[in-house]
Amino acid sequence: MRVCVIGTGYVGLVTGACLAHIGHHVICVDNNEEKVKLMKAGQAPIFEPGLSEIMQSAIQSGNIEFTTDMSAGVTHGEILFIAVGTPPLPTGESDTRYVEAVARGIGAHLNGGYKVIVNKSTVPIGSGDWVRMIVLDGIAERQKVLVAAGGTGSSQAVVEKLPLFDVVSNPEFLREGSAVYDTFNPDRIVLGSNSPKAIAMMKELYAPIVERKFATDPSLPSVPVVVTDLSSAEMIKYAANAFLATKISFINEVANICDRVGADVTQVAKGIGLDSRIGHKFLQAGIGWGGSCFPKDVSALIHTADDYGYEAHLLKAAVSINQRQRSIAIEKLQQVLKILKGKTVGLLGLTFKPDTDDMRDAPALNLIENLNRLGTKVKAYDPIVSQSGLRDGLSGVLVETDPERLADGCDALVLVTDWQQFRHLDYRKMATLMNSPVMIDGRNFLNPQELQLAGFYYVGIGR
């Protein structure tokens, strides 16, 4: 099928490259010229395991192109994905201005044939109808221009050529760090629309993924497809992220109680996670959730509830527990080191989770800011950030190029991101390089006994 993906960030580029990989003809549009130049050369502007490989093979097979030209993409695609960012406004609402600009642009360039416009961006409930309205506005503006130019005959003749389209909500559930894997092995695909024709086209588009033709385990039953109305599909995305964020806040609350009563939250999580109604995932206590999705999506859902006169108590509690959790590493540092002014703290990891280069709303940023405010010198090592230009965008932190240089002269280390390679560092050597070998394990990721044997004073979260 002919596909256009507008916005080539974590979601858009992965979606475009995976759809090209399974045989569709994809044009990816982005208004960032630098990004488009990189992608044309086969380079992914973001770090995502496996992405460069499938991009390069799709370029070679001629199944993918990159452009800044919205008109070329819209003309090409029978399915048009909107995959631009919806960052949070200071009020907590989603900033939908990029979606609006794209919807208007689609309207301005829509041509004769039937098209499906897909909201892949996470957008507030009701946005499907809103996008339809903006696209119609874009079409109307172009009609006015055409009529004014007089080249297409009477306004009636122009209006009769109005393009046909439907809007579908197809929320994305991929996880940064395993986005390509998740796209080929989704737990479900959600399609929201009242148009049977649009749903049929979306099912055709996703058929190879639904039938697990590109899955790691093709013998699994086919991927469930949830077909529903626009608003329910939009709500599914928010509810999923709000549930996961709440689950983490729940275990963090339990961890804080464990700390006080002398229980071990890792044992508690194991014990409750074995209950099939609860499950093990998202029960790792730590220094709080972050990233580009959970904080903004939970805030947006709270805001939507507020708009309808409903106070979302549980979601507000999940957010406030998370805010408190973000300061727990500092509390633990103060318990061990007492005065932080004039001390040096090293952060192991900067990204909001492993296997990504995404720093949006990463707990490390809070930590750096708060430690700086307390007069503490902050150093950091991160497997991705330390090796890339990302380090230049950070302030208040000295980014080191390896873990031993990080340890050198530190009064404590804080493990912020659970990168796999942090399991196997030479902690014995690192301990000898530090002023005082203290490890605050902000993800309960390391083995306390091993760290103690290596010479560290080990402090976990709720254990």
Q: Residues interacting with ligand NAD, by CB under 6 A? A: 6-12, 29-32, 35, 83-86, 98, 101-102, 121-122, 172, 174, 176, 292-293
* CB of residue 84 to ligand NAD, shortest distance in Å: 4
Q: Of all residues in the chain, what percent are helix, strand and coil, respectively (each to 5)? A: 50, 15, 40
Count the Cβ atoms, other than its own, within 10 Å of residue 397: 23
Query: For residue 441, which phi and psi values (nearest 5 degrees)?
Result: -90, 90
DSSP string, 369-395: HHHHHTT-EEEEE-TTGGGSGGGGG--
293 is catalytic: yes
d(CA 357, CA 282): 21
10/427 with CB nearer ligand NAD: 10
Residue type, 102: V
Annotated binding-site residue? 423: no
Give 291 or 403: the residue with its C-beta nearer to ligand NAD: 291
Tell me the backbone φ, ψ of residue 58, rounded to 5 degrees: -70, -35
d(CA 393, CA 360): 12
Give the Cα separation of 324 and 364 in Å (integer).
14
User: What is the CA angle 116-117-119, rounded to 5?
Assistant: 135
Output the smallest distance, CB 280 to ligand NAD, in A. 22
Minimum CB separation of residue 7 from ligand NAD in Å reads 3
Q: For the CA atoms of 92, 98, 100, 104, what is the dihedral angle to 10 degrees?
A: 180
285 is in an annotated binding site: yes
Toward ligand NAD, which CB reaches closer, 181 or 457?
181
Rank residues 238 and 458 by Cβ distance to ligand NAD and give the closer one.
238
Cβ-closest position to ligand NAD: 9
Q: 42 in the Ramachandran plot: left (φ > 0), alpha (ψ -120 to 50) or beta? A: left
Residue 290 known to bind ligand = yes
Q: How many whole angstroms separate alpha carbon 339 and alpha carbon 201? A: 63
Minimum distance, C-beta of residue 388 to ligand NAD, in the bound complex (Å): 16
Q: Would the annotation count 237 as a binding residue?
A: yes
| Residue closer to ligand NAD (CB basis): 11 or 407 | 11
Rg (CA), the chain: 25
CB of 448 to ligand NAD, least distance (A): 32
CA proximity to 242, closest of 287, 179, 302: 302
Q: Which is nearer to ligand NAD, 96 or 344 (CB)?
A: 96
Q: CB of 102: closest distance to ligand NAD in angstroms?
A: 5
Tell me: is residue 259 an annotated ligand-binding position. Answer: no
Is 107 assigned to a binding site?
Answer: no
Alpha helices in 29-123 (DSSP H): 33-40, 51-60, 70-76, 97-109
Tell me the closest approach of the beta carbon of residue 405 to ligand NAD, in angstroms.
Answer: 31
Q: Which residue out of 4, 18, 258, 293 is catalytically annotated?
A: 293
Instruction: Determine whether the annotation assigns residue 122 to a binding site.
Output: yes
429 annotated to a ligand binding site: no
CA dist., res. 274 & res. 264, Å (int): 16
- Is 143 annotated as ligand-binding? no
Closer residue to ligand NAD (CB): 6 or 413 = 6
**Burial state string for 417-448 with b = 16 or more CB within 10 A and e = fewer than 16:** bbbeebeebebeebbebbeebbbbbbbbbbeb
Annotated binding site: 30, 35, 86, 122, 173-176, 237, 282-286, 290, 296, 353, 360
Annotated binding site for NAD(+): 30, 35, 86, 122, 176, 296, 360
- Catalytically active residues are 293
